[in-house]
Amino acid sequence: MPAIRPAAKILDSRLREVAIHHLDLDAGYSTSDWPVDFALRILLSVLPVFEGRGIEAVTLLPTDIDHRIDVNGGSAIEVRGPVSALATWLLGRDDGSTLSVSGGELPTPPSWG
């Protein structure tokens, strides 16, 4: 049985889905086209999915906002970069090569499949 969602969340959910899949078209649209607050909504919306799927504990340090995000409790591995780059890395749409990492290796996010 599909999860029941409030109707008020449908528009934002569809907008996020279109923006993410638009990246897959490789037609000149990139995450740099996302406003920071929109990229943060995408990032925060995918975190609960990954926390339950075995991603290593990591601390995300977005460089374009003053915010710290601990995934699975956080750890000494710190990943820095723009919010949009952090989101697309966690979504598997980017290899994370533009992110900077300290305290260890860049974790590999689990696949969506």
CATH number at residue 50: 3.30.1050
With a cut of 90, say whether residue 103 has pLDDT above it.
yes
Task: Please state, rounded to an integer, the average pLDDT across all residues of the chain.
Answer: 84
Structural domain containing residue 92: 9-102
Residue with the bigger pLDDT between 34 and 50: it is 34
pTM of the shown model: 0.82
Residue 48 domain flag? yes
Residue 25 domain flag? yes
How far is CA 44 from its chain centroid? 7
Residue 113 domain flag? no
What pLDDT was estimated at residue 112?
66
Residue 89 domain flag? yes
How large is the average pLDDT for residues 54-61? 82
Residue 50 domain flag? yes
What's the structural domain count of the chain?
A: 1
With a cut of 70, say whether residue 52 has pLDDT above it.
no
Residue 19 domain flag? yes
What pLDDT was estimated at residue 71?
84
